[in-house]
Structure 1
């Protein structure tokens, strides 16, 4: 999908060309730091452009094949011209617009129109995330000094934004890339067999909606402990689309058991998308997931593609972004509960070890096509295998 293409382009055409520098001069260090500050400032302006509709308006005007003035863009986006003029000048200096001094005309470069002014928000949303984190700067300073963490209540908009990003991922990749890795589970779903599927930490609930629509004879359940309003929205969407084989339940994954559900039935497929590393007690949650999995069932886990050995992450161009998101959200929400504070860079080695401790013996790890995530397909030994030993 478009999301994967954008991320692949970022990695292969720019970031992966970065070379390790053995040493750096004072002037080089100053230039590097100021370059980071420049990027931070541009991030704020990217966010403003998204929130005000300037990117969409600029892309629309550019698609018409003509350059435009700040007055025309302001009118298209219903914004104040003076602010729009300064915004355009900023973005032009940032390399995103072309400028013709004859008439003070601007034009948005086509690639930027695609990733910033199109329907996909994977790239532009990073600016929104940065802005949201900046609101908690004083609180971050406090926990850096005194320990503890910031709970989910400090990130009310963040989870809606991540649900939106996840929706794109599920629409693009869930059926085409993730589910084929489950092997016989997908075959059984396609055959019309009635399977039970659970999404732990389902957020906005879109993954289960996608699967429920595709496999109407099976039952799907989204489970999350802090997304009450989001789950109400998910229920309304499912109802409006006449999808009757999906349900959503508020619950705590640390207390997950077969008794959490009607008739104490187990699940043939359990999913966990970018959720385990946020938990207060991730090992307990994995243990609970294992106990709720039916014989010959599969646990499908998506998590950040990282190594548990820090030095192996240093050359990864995405590491600065991912470690920042880890410290400012994933790790701190766990520490706020006196939890493990794994963070999203816990790595595939530790993940595999913990999955093994939860009883999974067949663990397959594959890189996702977006170059950002790993996909874990986990199975437990069957009873028939035990019987033959």
Structure 2
């Protein structure tokens, strides 16, 4: 499957379906159709509208959509997205609240590179902005990265996090969500040996696979069932000629989306059927619940092949983080070297992706950390998405995380060696 023609064929199919949707919508809107008293044309137009929108969203990066935040002065402050540290494979961005004094809390939100853009954490970031200065890892779509920029695997991802932590300084509080949790833990341990003063104050790990075998799920079972050769042959393709990354081997976003949808095909089919009926009857709107969810869910990005394959091989199959034998650039990273960074894990009771126990395993690995600097929370009744973006996050987990940050914001040198050196 590793051919540009295969990649381009998938894009052709997506583009064709978008065109079919637009055509159906145009036919139903033709004035002469109004003279035919048949509901068929209403449903044809509704199907076209939903289909065109859905297919178009698959290749578009969503906007953050966070325009303002209310400050302590009671005024609305404009929010801009500024690039703090640019990079070939991702940027560190700052959600800059204009006209507001620097906040007491400084939070780095580490977004997953697992098929969706960092904007998947929009509601998480928006909920933190009133109480903190927020920075986010904004990973790039691999299809847009030229081949000459080289590889990007989990070691490179870890070193990106190391650079971000150095840049932001020792008063930073890191929140890693889902997939990057083990790599954020490794980055902190890396700094513990290489540059201890640059370590963050706290590290909150939410629903991440620190030890995937602690409580197996369908995701971990899949990783154990298939061989690396099978994954490489069935999942990896080369970017087609349409994009800047032509020739780069990737795990395509469209292929990932197929996997996402197939896991819950019945619920997705029902959701789209209901939406078509709502559009046909005039009950749908531009920003209704369906569009709000699927505009983000359908927006997928390609991952570099080496990142996807090394994640499956080293995190899930070999358990290098779980067994504390992860290496970066030939250097072993000892998680036991973390001695003064408070670590908290958050899990959802009904998380079927990273089940309870997988994330908490991080605390056992932190053998050099005093027990008073360790904390964990299992949210009753919460699934994977809910622990960082749903009602469970807003009403319970977010306040607990902020309290944890405040309790562990004791004195530490505030100098930032990396910035001084740059100056």
Q: Kindly indicate whether structure 1 or structure 2 has the higher relative contact order, using CA contacts under 8 Å at least 6 residues apart.
A: 2
Q: Structure 2 length as normaliser, TM-score?
A: 0.34
More helix, by proportion = 1
